[in-house]
Amino acid sequence: MDNHERNLSPTGRHSGTGTVGRRVFLLGESMKIEHVQLRKHGDNGGMLVALEQGRNVPFEIRRVYYIFGTKAEVRRGRHAHRNLTQMAVAVRGSVTFLLDDGTEPVEVMLNDPSRGLLLNRMVWRELYDFSEDCVLMVLADQLYDPGDYITDYGDFVRELGGSVESERMAACLAV
């Protein structure tokens, strides 16, 4: 954890529907945040960052989208994905993420175009405190699929419980 990250209280700060407290599935563990440090090319005259599949982007890039013009008071995201890996880069400005994988939620601020934030599957995310000039670019390993979204925090918790249970069962069977 660095100075861009901070753990939240056990109740988190979710604003999704149906959020009443939190269940902790993996006792004693807090969420691990994965960043990719992107090499900057250039000098005082200007900078360039290259994103390359398999080099500094650890998945097959099937989609790129960017978010801009978000009002300061707006909270975006408020969902998880069942089967989607993404990498977010604040190409300009800043934004704060709340990330929750069922352990301890973490707040991460992105404000550096040479820093990629990895967003794994089954992580609840909320985005807020967008600076007026924020341009957030997101690379994704799947095409857009509305069916992949979990938009209710209660459903997320239930599905996460199911997948943690099946992982535990698989681990037991493998022993």
Number of residues binding to ligand TYD, judged by CB under 6 A = 6
* Chosen residue from 24, 65, 158, 165 binding ligand TYD by CB under 6 A: 65
Catalytic residue flag (residue 41): no
- One-letter amino acid identity for 115? R
Q: Which two tokens stand for residue 53?
A: 């599949």
Give the residue with the Cβ less far from ligand TYD, 55 or 68: 68
Give the residue with the Cβ less far from ligand TYD, 138 or 164: 138
Give the residue with the Cβ less far from ligand TYD, 25 or 149: 149
**If you write DSSP's letter for every residue of 92-146 in order, what string do you get?**
ES-EEEEEESSSS-EEEEE--TTEEEEE-SS-EEEEE---TT-EEEEEESS---G
CB 111 within 8 A of CB 26: no
* Chosen residue from 144, 161, 162, 166 binding ligand TYD by CB under 6 A: 144
Per residue, the 3-state secondary structure of 11-47, as one string, reads CCCCCCCCCCCCCCCCCCCCCCCCEEECCEEEECCEE
Is 66 a binder of ligand TYD (CB under 6 A)?
Answer: no
* Chosen residue from 77, 92, 94, 155 binding ligand TYD by CB under 6 A: 77
Q: Where along the sequence are the contacts to ligand TYD (CB under 6 A)? A: 63, 65, 67, 76-77, 144
